[in-house]
Amino acid sequence: MRDLTEAQVAAGHSVGIVCDSTTGGDFEEGLFENMKDSLALGIHRTPMQRHVGPGDLASAWRTFKIIKELRPDVLHGHGAKGGTYARLFGSLLRVSRSRVARLYSPHGGSLHYDETTTTGTLFFALERFMARFTDCLLFVSDYERRTYRKKVGEPPIPNRLIHNGLRAAEFEPVRTERNAADLLYIGMMRDLKGPDIFIDALVLAGRQLGRPLTAVMVGDGDDLPRYHAQVKRLGLDGHVRFLPPMPARSAFALAELVVVPSRAEAMPYIVLETLAAGKAMIATAVGGIPEIFGAGSPALIRPDPHELGDRVSEALADPKAYRRLMPNIADLRARFGVDVMAAEIETAYFAALGRRHSS
């Protein structure tokens, strides 16, 4: 969101952000602080719970009042909750003859549900219903688009595949510090992202290599105490260092090999950032991650601690050979540059505005 916002401001657009105020910490607050002076429509944070619940009514009303006052030309909702708000409130504004384009980017969320369950059936029925209030769907990965078609159905509205993009500075290599750890995990501390898989694999790979491995785990989340306990239970005290959230490029310098052990993903920025920084990595073949590496890449594994342990031992046994397996940086820049992403999203905005104007 930050990269897209900066690109849109540079293109001369007036941009604002409306988002949840209950998640994030000091690191995220710093990002907002650095952005606020450049956003003509400001940053507006209000409580928005992740799951559906009684608090949604109050949250929706607060969010609607903010958007009504801003009177934007474009409402671009990210994720299930943001997408619902953007499309409903954009439709309400159109009732009062405001010209608003309503776009939605699914980011996992409700798409992770099993379509055979009651919950999944309900959410996908709601997605089909909400299509009538949507001018365009923007997918960040082909995986998401295929999942949407399978679980929700063929979109009856325009839709585009636009991959996430990185700034030019993020394609500069990051030098690894002296005495760096063997492995780095960076992300939310929740089971969906696989920190428990990472910790178990640390033990397994250490046994194969005949030495204890060291690791840095960067991030925060409700499940963090469980991972502390897992490290202690496995006798890894002194070998695993937990650190609070920090800029990804600062974290990359702390270890030789980056691991993304997620059980589910859409199109994770951390994978793009890691490869753009010239770091070697292992990632699970979930969501849109294979679209970055290419199908069949030896860097991809299943979210399984034994498989991860095997790959870690191979990578650390011959780091130079493993590094040669990473995607070409020039190819990544051409496919995943922020300039490419911003230009394609801008085209989608104007196309949606043109449809609304003509109708």
Question: Domains along the chain?
Answer: 2-165+337-358 (3.40.50.2000), 169-336 (3.40.50.2000)
User: According to the model, what pLDDT value does residue 27 have?
Assistant: 84
Q: How confident is the model at residue 359 (pLDDT cuts 50, 70, 90)?
A: very low
Q: What is the mean pLDDT of the chain?
A: 93
pTM of structure? 0.82
User: According to the model, what pLDDT value does residue 53 have?
Assistant: 74
DSSP assignment letter at 193: G
| Cα separation, 187 vs 200, whole angstroms | 17
30-44: pLDDT as tens digits: 989 999 999 999 999
Q: Which residues pair with 281 in a beta bridge?
A: 258
Residue 149's alpha-carbon distances to 144, 300, 332, in angstroms, are: 9, 25, 27
Show Cβ contacts of residue 333 under 8 Å, excluding neighbours closer than 6 positions. 168, 171, 276
How far is C-alpha 323 from the geometric centre of its chain's CA atoms? 24
| Alpha-helix residue ranges (DSSP H) falling in 114-259 | 118-130, 142-151, 195-209, 224-233, 248-252
Phi (first) and psi of residue 98, to 5 degrees: -85, 140
- Work out whether the CA dihedral 74, 78, 82, 84 comes out positive or negative: positive
- Of 47-56, 193-202, 263-272, the poorest mean pLDDT is in 47-56
Asked whether 325 and 181 are in contact (CB, 8 A), the reply is: no
Show Cβ contacts of residue 86 under 8 Å, excluding neighbours closer than 6 positions. 75, 76, 77, 102, 103, 104
Q: 135 or 98, which is more confident?
A: 135
Q: 28 or 250, which is more confident?
A: 250
287-332: pLDDT as tens digits: 999 999 987 899 999 999 999 999 999 999 999 999 999 999 999 9
Residue 246: pLDDT over 60: yes
Show Cβ contacts of residue 68 under 8 Å, excluding neighbours closer than 6 positions. 89, 92, 93
Show Cβ contacts of residue 28 under 8 Å, excluding neighbours closer than 6 positions. 245
| Alpha-helix residue ranges (DSSP H) falling in 43-78 | 55-70
Q: 228 or 113, which is more confident?
A: 228
